[in-house]
Amino acid sequence: MAQATRAAQAQRSCDPAFPATVSVLLGYQGAAFAGFARQPGQLTVQGQVEQALSVMLRRPVEVVCAGRTDAGVHARGQVVSFDVTQDECERLLSRAAVRSLNALTHDRIAVQRVDRRPAGFSARFDAVEREYRYHVHEGAVPSLFASQVSWHVAGSLDVDAMQEAARCFVGEHDFKSFCKAASAEGKPTCRFVREVSLHRCEVLGEPLLQVRVVGNAFLHSMVRTMVGSLVAVGRGQRAPEWIAEALKAADRRAAGECAPAQGLVFWEVRYA
């Protein structure tokens, strides 16, 4: 499917009728949607964005995204790209375009910017690095303000042990143990992770533990399973070296639980 999409985009970019490419930077609150990807009869981010662009440009529009997110997962820095005519490019780069797109999309989607890109640019295939952040709320009482963007974990976590375990993820590894099993069948599961770090932050004065994960690409549910496994270490249920053992096993049953969707934010995507 990915190769077919890339081939179709390459063919489209050679079409003289669509000589330009633009990207749209947007964010969204994931709780409102059945994920990013378009699905028949479901409210999705892609469906909303494509509908708004089709109304603006008065023709069907299909976008390519930097990274698909599951139902309930949020995004701060999602990027989508698509090919346009020169006139369409000028319209989309006008000052009024962002305001119009926000008026046409769901109120849980925020379009931030439209940029011109080199012809044939792909939000997905030209990305060199993606960053996700996951938020955990520790304590006996659930968060009042951050409950929609964090996972409540009763008690306190051993953050030092979690950070020790997190170092096992850094580098190039087979992450088959840390993704949805069905999605890994017959597909390459090696990925490069540059950073996994833990930080303290606040949302409206409420303390959260933030897990920052940066890598070239990610498998289905990979970051959430990494976080679920780190929390098992933080709870004292597993030793930090268990993460390395789970990686070597290349078996989903060897790793921890998949953390809830609402704590995950697709933070940023970087291009060369």
Domain hosting residue 16, numbered range:
2-117
Question: What CATH number corresponds to the domain at position 262?
Answer: 3.30.70.660
What is the C-alpha end-to-end distance of the chain, expressed in Å? 24
Measured distance CA(107)–CA(245) in Å, rounded: 44
Q: Do residue 64 and residue 143 come from a single domain? A: no
Q: Do residue 73 and residue 181 come from a single domain? A: no
Q: Do residue 137 and residue 248 come from a single domain? A: yes
So what's the pLDDT on residue 186?
Answer: 82
Q: Do residue 100 and residue 140 come from a single domain? A: no
In a domain, 123, yes or no: no
Exposure string (b/e) for 114-126, b if CB count within 10 Å is 16 or more?
A: beebeebbbbbeb
Q: Do residue 113 and residue 181 come from a single domain? A: no
Q: Find tokens 């993460």 and name the residue.
A: 243
Q: Do residue 109 and residue 132 come from a single domain? A: no
Question: How far from 65 is each of 117, 175, 266, CA to CA, in Å?
Answer: 14, 22, 12
So what's the pLDDT on residue 8?
Answer: 45
Look at residue 1 and tell me whether its pLDDT is greater than 80.
Answer: no
Do 270 and 124 meet the contact criterion of CB atoms below 8 Å apart? no
Q: Do residue 107 and residue 227 come from a single domain? A: no
So what's the pLDDT on residue 10?
Answer: 47
In a domain, 246, yes or no: yes
So what's the pLDDT on residue 116?
Answer: 97
Measured distance CA(83)–CA(126) in Å, rounded: 15
Query: Each residue of 150-174: pLDDT tens digit?
Result: 999 999 999 999 999 999 999 999 9
Query: Each residue of 7-64: pLDDT tens digit?
Result: 444 444 556 778 999 999 999 999 999 999 999 999 999 999 999 999 999 999 999 9
In a domain, 122, yes or no: no
In a domain, 98, yes or no: yes
Q: Do residue 213 and residue 147 come from a single domain? A: yes
Question: What CATH number corresponds to the domain at position 21?
Answer: 3.30.70.580
Q: Do residue 24 and residue 91 come from a single domain? A: yes
Look at residue 200 and tell me whether its pLDDT is greater than 80.
Answer: yes
Exposure string (b/e) for 190-216, b if CB count within 10 Å is 16 or more?
A: ebebeebebeeeebeeeebbbbebbbe
Active site residue: 70, 83, 87, 251, which one? 70
So what's the pLDDT on residue 20?
Answer: 95
At residue 3, φ and ψ (nearest 5 deg) are -65, -40
Measured distance CA(214)–CA(27) in Å, rounded: 18
Q: Find tokens 């009869």 and name the residue.
A: 41
Q: Does 132 appear as a known binding residue? A: yes
- pTM value? 0.92
Question: How far from 142 is each of 147, 149, 158, 159, 266, CA to CA, in Å?
Answer: 7, 12, 19, 19, 23
Average pLDDT over residues 254-271: 98
Look at residue 124 and tell me whether its pLDDT is greater than 90.
Answer: yes
Which helix (H) or strand (E) segment holds residue 220: the answer is none
Do 67 and 80 meet the contact criterion of CB atoms below 8 Å apart? no
In a domain, 245, yes or no: yes
In a domain, 49, yes or no: yes
Please identify, among 67, 84, 117, the residue that sits at the C-terminal boundary of a domain: 117
Do 108 and 45 meet the contact criterion of CB atoms below 8 Å apart? no
Q: Is there a catalytic annotation at residue 70? A: yes
Q: Do residue 92 and residue 155 come from a single domain? A: no
Number of domains in the chain: 2
Least confidently predicted of 83-87, 141-145, 236-240: 141-145
Q: Do residue 113 and residue 141 come from a single domain? A: no
- Say how many C-beta atoms besides its own lie within 10 A of residue 236's C-beta: 11
Measured distance CA(232)–CA(10) in Å, rounded: 44
Strands 264-271 and 74-84: parallel
Torsion-angle region of residue 72: left (phi > 0), alpha (psi -120 to 50) or beta? left
Least confidently predicted of 6-20, 62-76, 129-143, 183-197: 6-20
What's the mean per-residue pLDDT of the chain? 93
Signed CA dihedral, 229, 215, 29, 80: sign only:
negative
Look at residue 265 and tell me whether its pLDDT is greater than 80.
Answer: yes
Please identify, among 92, 117, 142, the residue that sits at the C-terminal boundary of a domain: 117
Q: Do residue 134 and residue 108 come from a single domain? A: no
Please identify, among 97, 117, 137, the residue that sits at the C-terminal boundary of a domain: 117
Average pLDDT over residues 76-90: 97
